Chains A and B, each alone.
Chain A
Amino acid sequence: MKRILVILNILFSVLIMSHCRSSQERYFIRNVIAPNTAVAVIIEGENDVKNTVLVEFLNAGYNVKAINASDFYRVEDIFEVKDLKKTQFVTNVLDKKSAEGTAAVADKFFENLYKLHLYNFEAAKAEILTEIKKKYKVDYVILLAMKEWDKGYCWARAIHIDTFDLVYVHNYPAKRADNVQSIVKHFITVIQRGTNQPTQK
């Protein structure tokens, strides 16, 4: 009986683990980003992770511009997008449960106001990228999410600032043998090689 329980336990653990690792590596690259290209690398992660990432990009021959590497804070400390949104819109101006009735028009007014803000927020991001292009003279912005690399999740994106096109996306489930260095090297290999995965369904 004990043996059966142990076997069942192992089977269950394997099932759970296989479920956790179900996400596949997927990427697509439209433009090769050659060494010597001026890139702004924005990293979501701790400062030691950021250093390792930047070293890898410098070693690979990129002209790396210090966009979020010139301070001791993390991205979310200085660039909290959610906060920026929330300052603009207070949803509870009207108490919907009030016995005095609901204010559909006022709701609509605030919704429209906030909706416009959401459009403008997206536009503002585009304007910021244009500013980055002007000030730092970079061609590509590379975003790396490394915050949860040790939990198996990290991803990379590259944006060509001139066209505002997304030119590279990569979902990478980190393996047991991986470390920050190996993951970033893998990303760099893909963006320098520019060969796509065979189409997966």
Chain B
Amino acid sequence: MKNKFWEFYRSFTLLPTLTVFLFFCLLPAAKIYSIVTVAFGAIKNESDRVRLNEFELRLPVEVSRLLKDREKEIKIIPPQESIKIFEQKKLPNNIIYSKEEELVQACGALKANAILTATINLRDDNQIQIKQWLYLCEGNRQFKFVYIEPPATALKSAVLGTVAVIGQYLPEKSGGRLLLSEVKPGSKVAILSNTSPEALNRAAIALFERGYKVSAIGYVDFLSPEEKELNLFQEISSQELSYVGFEADFSDLGSITLHPLENATKKVTQQTALYDLFVSYTRSFDTKETAALQRLRNLTQADFLLIAHNGQTASFARVIDLRNGKLSYLRQQLPASQKTDDPENTNLLQLVAEISIPPQLPDVSNVGGLSTLAKIAGGDDIATVAILDFFNRSGQKKFAWLTTSLSAAVSESMLRVFEYRRADLQKEKEATAKFGANIQTQTFLELQKMTGADFLIFGDYTFDPKTKELLIEAKVYDLFSQKEIGTATERTPIDNRIFNAVDNIANKIVQDIYKMATTQ
């Protein structure tokens, strides 16, 4: 009887024990699988200003650097790696994916949770406009963030925004919360919400109790906005840091019949006029939205506008800083089952509590070292680079022409992605004649004095007779700190593919320079 009892007891205790054991064994493994992978897709400079190429190279570098201490949670795939994967999978690379099916394919190829792409433009008012698209593979959703900043601060803002989005928003899948700046107590907050007047009153009391002032916007009448009206505020496309979803596809419009206007739109000319109207209005909406927000600010002196949508199936919230038009807070998911007529609307009260928490944003004070972007606004902190002739190690005179051609090609390629000042060519020649291939740490100081350069690029090449390929190696040295900061090697046939190899070397050199600048 006793034995039977123990058998029975064991059979019942073994299972939970094993479960607990397995749980703790698998916990670390589960943690590995919970890593969020963010792939950088194309980052494109759409302006004709070469200087803005700095963004293409620097944004991923700076973002990766700032997220380095969270590499157990977030894995970053840099753009060059994404391009390689796209090439292998025969998918188009170096384009901004915008169509749903393309993005789904790209997610599958990259095995990523999210893809981040961006375009950079210089506006007529000399402000830099950065548009970032964050596509979330799970749930098939895409967000767009727009930053408009002076050149001197644009990179910092874009890096800060990107790190905040990746660092806060992505791991917070359940809540979709993004706090970008603090809504400081003492400031004046306006609320628009499709809740009952009593719930709005309660939210005002909660704000008062936390030391805020409350603007009368939303409190002037006896009716609250309706849910479908608040739906429109999901996207905030003011000109500063903002949030919008999928862009409208204008290409479809030509084939659409607009029913109440059917007769009128049969004529192609009228259809075109309608098309033009829709397009121009939609494209310029950011300026209209900015002006509308500015008007609210001027009339009411409100500092922030809290939009709290209370939906039957889903809810969201936004906070816009009316002083500068920037998005301060974004909440994509809130519990949906809130009754709009409940005076104690917990969603609203939760929002009031959340927005008052100071956000934990990364320190971007070191971002922007060696940036040449300020030059656009009149500053000049351009680095000087000396590129010496490449050294012919092939032992064959027939490749001697490459010594000067390679340095010229690297210089030209670098200029396409990086604004720098080339050292005096005559002085470079003198340095080549004096040092030849004897570039060593001891010679850096003298080279710096001779050429006046901050950085020195020197390389060599050999020929592999078996593969009939050229092996090019280029090193970049920081002459002030007297150290080598990077090496780029490429293998290429001696045909027009040599230019691709040179481009790759130039890109690598520029990235090494940026990396060095940001880790100082």
Contacts and interface: CB of A to CB of B under 8 A. Distances in A.
Interface stretch (A57-65, A94-102, A181-189): A94-102
B232 A159 contact: no
Given A76-B222, A100-B256, A164-B300, 7 more contacts: A26-B202, A100-B257, A103-B258, A112-B282, A116-B289, A123-B299, A165-B213
Contact of A119 (B202, B219, B292): B292
Contacts of B296: 119, 122-123, 126
A44 B222 CA distance: 7
Interface stretch (B52-60, B203-211, B452-460): B203-211
11 contacts: A81-B221, A101-B256, A103-B258, A105-B253, A109-B282, A116-B292, A119-B292, A120-B292, A126-B217, A164-B215, A164-B217
A112 B258 contact: no
B279 interface: yes
A166 B214 contact: yes
B249 A105 contact: yes
B258 A143 contact: no
A193 to B, nearest CB: 16
Contacts of B192: 122
A30 B256 contact: no
B197 interface: yes
A116 B252 CA distance: 24
A190 B152 CA distance: 53
Nearest to B256: A103
A101 B208 CA distance: 49
- Of the candidates A105, A130, A159, A166, the one having the most CB atoms from chain B within 10 angstroms of its own CB is A166
A167 B213 CA distance: 8
A94 B296 CA distance: 31
Contacts of A166: 204, 213-216, 219
Interface string A21-34: 00100111010000
Nearest to B230: A118
A175 interface: no
A81 B223 contact: yes
A195 B516 CA distance: 61
B250 interface: yes
Nearest to A101: B256
B201 interface: yes
A116 B288 contact: yes
A28 B222 contact: no
Interface in B176-223: 188, 192, 197-198, 201-202, 204-205, 208-209, 213-223
Contacts of A66: none
B227 to A, nearest CB: 13
Interface string A127-144: 111100000000001010
Contact of B209 (A28, A106, A108, A127): A28
A87 B120 CA distance: 40
Nearest to A80: B223
Interface in A139-184: 141, 143, 145, 147, 153, 155, 157, 159, 163-166, 169-171
A105 B252 contact: yes
B222 A164 contact: no
Nearest to B255: A101
Nearest to B225: A118
A28 B249 CA distance: 49
A155 B204 contact: no
Given A23-B343, A106-B278, A109-B278, A122 B218 contact: yes
B441 to A, nearest CB: 61
Contacts of A106: 253, 256, 258, 278
Contacts of B299: 123, 126-127, 130, 164
Contact of A85 (B204, B229, B281): B229
Interface residues of B, number: 56
A115 B225 CA distance: 12
Interface string A64-103: 0000000000011001011001000001011100101111
B282 A155 contact: no
Residue with the highest number of chain B CB atoms closer than 10 Å, among A82, A98, A111: A111
Contact of B216 (A26, A76, A155, A165): A165
Contact of A28 (B205, B219, B261, B292): B205
B289 A115 contact: yes
Contacts of A3: none
B222 A145 contact: yes
A101 B215 CA distance: 43
B112 to A, nearest CB: 27
A16 to B, nearest CB: 16
Contacts of B204: 28, 166, 169
Contacts of B255: 100-101
B220 A112 contact: no
Given A103-B252, A116-B288, A153-B198, A75 B222 contact: yes
Contacts of B277: 109
A65 to B, nearest CB: 16
A42 B201 CA distance: 17
Contacts of B216: 126, 129, 159, 164-166
B279 A165 contact: no
Contacts of A141: 220
A130 B228 CA distance: 29
A18 interface: no
Given A28-B204, A106-B256, A165 B292 contact: no
Nearest to B208: A28
B295 A112 contact: no
A159 B214 CA distance: 10
B21 interface: no
Interface string B291-302: 011011001111
A25 to B, nearest CB: 10
The 5 residue pairs across chains A and B that have the minimum distance between CB atoms: A119-B292, A126-B299, A166-B214, A115-B232, A169-B201
B249 A104 contact: yes
B480 interface: no
B28 interface: no
A171 B198 contact: yes
B143 interface: no
Nearest to B246: A104
